[in-house]
Amino acid sequence: PLRIQEAALMGEYRHKLSLGIKHPSADLSSLPKHLGMPVHNLQKAGELRRTPKGRLLNTIARESSCGIEFETLGDLPKSLEAAVASLLPHKPYLNSLSDSGATFRFFIGWFSESWNTGERLNWNLLRDIANLRISLDFDVYGPGENGS
């Protein structure tokens, strides 16, 4: 009951969730096979950079990078829980990448329908995110910035 009241008072929001992965030198093209998930915007250090749509740019990528999009499941905690559940079986692999210099971040696009919105992330979820060595990056967009 309290949770419903909190949601009613806080206003509505939408979100998008992706995982960004960067490494100073490793070729990340094996990630889709290891994780069983498609990646997008795969860049390899030392090669020409590409736009998300695949157009070559006239600059060299200083690091390898890629992203993984996750499904939006109602509220942010549910989306994060599902993403973390899909990554936890790969923790040893992800931690070995981290040990070799990789960084991971959940990019969260938060689209608020009013200025007063919020959400609670429980400590179990935050512990699992930390154990996967994933940082949280929030980009918050106010009313009128739909993120489409």
Which tens digit of pLDDT belongs to each residue from 40-87? 889 999 999 988 888 889 999 999 999 999 999 888 999 999 999 999
pLDDT band for 9, please (50, 70, 90 cuts).
very low
56 SS3 class: strand
How far the first Cα of the chain sits from its last, in Å, is: 33
Residue with more model confidence, 135 or 11: 135
Q: Is the pLDDT of residue 8 over 60?
A: no
The pLDDT of residue 145: 63
Give CA–CA dist 116/74, Å, rounded: 18
pLDDT band for 10, please (50, 70, 90 cuts).
low
Q: What rounded mean pLDDT belongs to the chain?
A: 87
